A and B are shown apart, each in its own frame.
Chain A
Amino acid sequence: MTFDHILIRFGEITVKGRNRSRFEAEMLKQVKHALRSFPGLTYIRTFGRLYIALGNEPYEPVAERLKDVFGISSFSPVKRVEPELGAIREGALAVMRSFPQREATFKVKASRRWKGFPHDTMSLNHLVAAHVLRNMPHIKVDVHNPDIELNVEVQEHHAYVYCEVIPGAGGFPYGSNGKAVALLSGGIDSPVAVWYAMRKGLEVEAIHFHSYPFTSKEAQDKVVTLAKRLSHYAGSPFKLHLVPFTDIQTRLAQTGQEHLIITLMRRSMLRIAQKIAERVRALAVVTGDSLGQVASQTLSSLNVIGRTCELPLLRPLISMDKLEIIAMAKRIGTYETSILPYEDCCTLFVPKSPATNPNLRVVERIERGIPELDEMIAKAVEDTETLELTPDEPVPAGSSAADRDDWF
């Protein structure tokens, strides 16, 4: 293995002025947590950056895991050498030799952070490049459009050589921007919306509405699987609130307003979500709405539905195309679960022609016609069941015989 360290660059958090040190400490904590299954790693925190010494741990799986940690803008596998010319040259050569292709162009990009180093950036570029060219005759220099950019960074105690920069997940450390609740259906969009909210540093608690027996146990298991996947990104136990929605749903269905049923359901859901948000001290509600995608996501529907909620409604997917959302769902590993064919409570009562332009006054009048609605909403909140999920944890104990580990 040519590389012995990983250099981690933080993204947006470095712009945060006074708070930087707090963010960096939080970042270090989250990186350590994400990599806790690699005990051989050691962590070196320096100005705005983090180095991980690989020790005897393999690079690839560590890198795979790092790609999912929010707050990292990019990282590089690096080779650490003594800050003196001979060692830097040998290190540079070793890095270049780790590339399989025989014919390639390169340029050296040196930076001298330690001003006590005897060679300035320009001459270091030449000295390193000349050494590589002498030893690798098939390699050529191309300063404008090189295949390989060989970076040399000289600091007081060490120099680092690397050439790969791998993009990280970006965003803020998880939870560093406060807490929100999110509506999580079993579909493709909502897990992606949650992921984007989490990436922005929001701690998220998910809310799922189930309508047993109109929805199946599988539909709920599917949401648990999605939440477990999201907990992988959270790096801490992820809360999933399961709200019994059957009574409200059947009551709304009895109003005879078939084309408005989705509007009415979504309004009740938001009311419940807001109450849960208050309970858990969350300051926003995240939804997977994408403008115009379905009847309940026309601007007019978003207006009528959104009016029930006083908290900020965050809609990370609002301007995204469906194909972009699907691509993202695949990237974050929720797509395969999302497309399992179990009905959720929204698909179940979908009328043939749902309203795309609901009238707020009509909707409010229908709701006034259900005097017990507030009570039902309070009861649904009351009867909500909360699960705490981690990526590897099986579905909560007792819920299924299939969790009997001792049978396997």
Chain B
Amino acid sequence: MLYFDHSASSPPKEEVIRTVSEVMAQIYANPSSLHRSGAEARKLLERAREQAARLFGTEPSEWRFTSGGTESNNLAIFGAARRYRNRGRHLIVSAVEHPSVAEPFRALEREGFRVTVLPVGPTGHVNPADVEAALTDETILVSVMHVNNEVGSVQPIEAIGRLLRDRPRTLFHVDGVQSVGKLPVPIREWGVDLFTISAHKFGGPRGAGWLYVRGGVELEPILYGGGQESGLRSGTENVPAIVGAAKALRLAIESQPVRAERMGRLRRRLVEGVVRLPGVVLSGPEEDDPNRPMAPHIVHFCCPGLKPEVIVHSLEELGVLVSTKSACSSKDDKPSAVLTAMGRDAACASSGIRISLGDEHDEASIDALLERLETVLRRLMPLRRKEERH
């Protein structure tokens, strides 16, 4: 089986499984308990926190454990908007965010906030000039993802961070779920205030993630209770997952440069093959373009006129797993919001296929994928719905 759905969830690393299972078996005490076992669990949490802090050149006090990307995004967005609503009621978000960012903004709009949605170009990139034009004195939060989960566009976080540098009243949230371990993530240098990480995207366990909250930034909690995580995230800490996640994070970040280089090579090979396939529209530049950078691990294309789930299932029969849109919204039939925002028509926007790479892939797996893609597409082409009938 060739697994090309790492951006949905990645296979956990061997070492991480061992850590999680050993900690789960041995450290079962509640980290809030006073006795020694509790203290031990607490120490493990703090070590995990220090590890994250060290890997990003930040302070341990700036890291909060959460259940993953969705919770971190919700906490960042609701937490910041509600905490600082007296500063202003204007929010800015890109049009291509993951639903766990886009939906909280919609909810905040219902709560009375004004939301500006930033357009993207045909390759899914935000233009920093649009951010600048949208900023007002009322703007309290800007949220732009680092790497788009569907098509892989890398957003100009550094440039947006520069725009916001002299605006201490405007917080900057970055959803880094797809980028950690794949690209350098200098959150301090960027001037990011809130940064979302999810462990299972880089070989960690599901149900574990982080929210980086820059020192001095306050958030209104979304969960209330025992006051864990400095009152920001009540609920007994998931110690085994958190320790496993810390290990996965270290492994992912330490090997990031090597991975980016290797995956970039594989991605170019894949793109070269994909553009030669019949009836395929690549979502992104065909050649590497520094002005429209793409993440090294995601290739996305559309097959107008074909139902993407038919492609997914046909490939599955040949032992290849890929994804339509993002896994979180792949069950509905609607055109992808991301592709629509990129200006694709309905036929294209509802026929997207995402291929995402992992560490186990090499040239041979890319070639195998291309060969089977071609087989499937050649078989399906005659059954394609014509544009006018759509």
Q: Give the 8 A-B CB pairs with smallest separation, nearest first.
A: A402-B43, A407-B19, A402-B44, A401-B40, A400-B40, A408-B247, A217-B36, A402-B47
CB–CB A400/B48 < 8 A = no
Which residues of chain B are within 8 angstroms of A406 by Cβ–Cβ distance? 19
Interface residues of B in 43-59 (CB under 8 A from A): 43-44, 46-48, 51
Can you list 15 pairs linking A and B with CB atoms under 8 Å apart?
A216-B34, A217-B36, A218-B39, A400-B39, A401-B43, A402-B40, A402-B43, A402-B44, A407-B19, A407-B23, A407-B243, A407-B247, A408-B48, A408-B247, A408-B250
CB–CB B22/A217 < 8 A = no
Which residues of chain B are within 8 angstroms of A408 by Cβ–Cβ distance? 19, 47-48, 51, 243, 246-247, 250
Contact of B22 among A218, A400, A407 (CB under 8 A): A407
Which residues of chain B are within 8 angstroms of A407 by Cβ–Cβ distance? 19, 22-23, 44, 243, 247
CB–CB B27/A401 < 8 A = yes
Interface flags, A367-408, vs B, CB<8A=1, else 0: 000000000000000000000000000000000111010111
Q: How many residues of A contact B (CB 8 A)?
A: 10
Query: B151 → chain A, closest Cβ, in Å?
Result: 34
Shortest Cβ distance from B34 into A: residue: A216
The distance in angstroms between the C-alpha atoms of A406 and B39, with both chains bound, is 19
Query: B203 → chain A, closest Cβ, in Å?
Result: 14
The distance in angstroms between the C-alpha atoms of A407 and B19, with both chains bound, is 5
CB–CB B36/A401 < 8 A = no
Query: B218 → chain A, closest Cβ, in Å?
Result: 21
With contacts A404-B22, A408-B47, A408-B250 known, what are 17 further pairs, Cβ within 8 A?
Answer: A216-B34, A216-B39, A218-B39, A400-B40, A401-B27, A402-B40, A402-B43, A402-B47, A406-B19, A407-B19, A407-B22, A407-B44, A407-B243, A407-B247, A408-B19, A408-B243, A408-B246
Query: A355 → chain B, closest Cβ, in Å?
Result: 32
Which residues of chain A are within 8 angstroms of B250 by Cβ–Cβ distance? 408
Which residues of chain A are within 8 angstroms of B27 by Cβ–Cβ distance? 401
The distance in angstroms between the C-alpha atoms of A407 and B27, with both chains bound, is 12
Query: A75 → chain B, closest Cβ, in Å?
Result: 27
The distance in angstroms between the C-alpha atoms of A404 and B44, with both chains bound, is 9
Which residues of chain A are within 8 angstroms of B36 by Cβ–Cβ distance? 217
Question: In this assembly, does B26 line the interface, its C-beta being within 8 Å of a C-beta of chain A?
Answer: yes
CB–CB A401/B39 < 8 A = no
Query: B70 → chain A, closest Cβ, in Å?
Result: 26
Known A-B contacts A218-B39, A408-B243, A408-B247; the reply to A401 vs B26 at CB < 8 A is yes
CB–CB B39/A217 < 8 A = yes
Query: A305 → chain B, closest Cβ, in Å?
Result: 33
The distance in angstroms between the C-alpha atoms of A332 and B306, with both chains bound, is 68
Interface residues of B in 1-50 (CB under 8 A from A): 19, 22-23, 26-27, 34, 36, 39-40, 43-44, 46-48
Which residues of chain A are within 8 angstroms of B39 by Cβ–Cβ distance? 216-218, 400
The distance in angstroms between the C-alpha atoms of A408 and B44, with both chains bound, is 9
Which residues of chain A are within 8 angstroms of B26 by Cβ–Cβ distance? 401
Shortest Cβ distance from B39 into A: residue: A217
The distance in angstroms between the C-alpha atoms of A286 and B380, with both chains bound, is 85
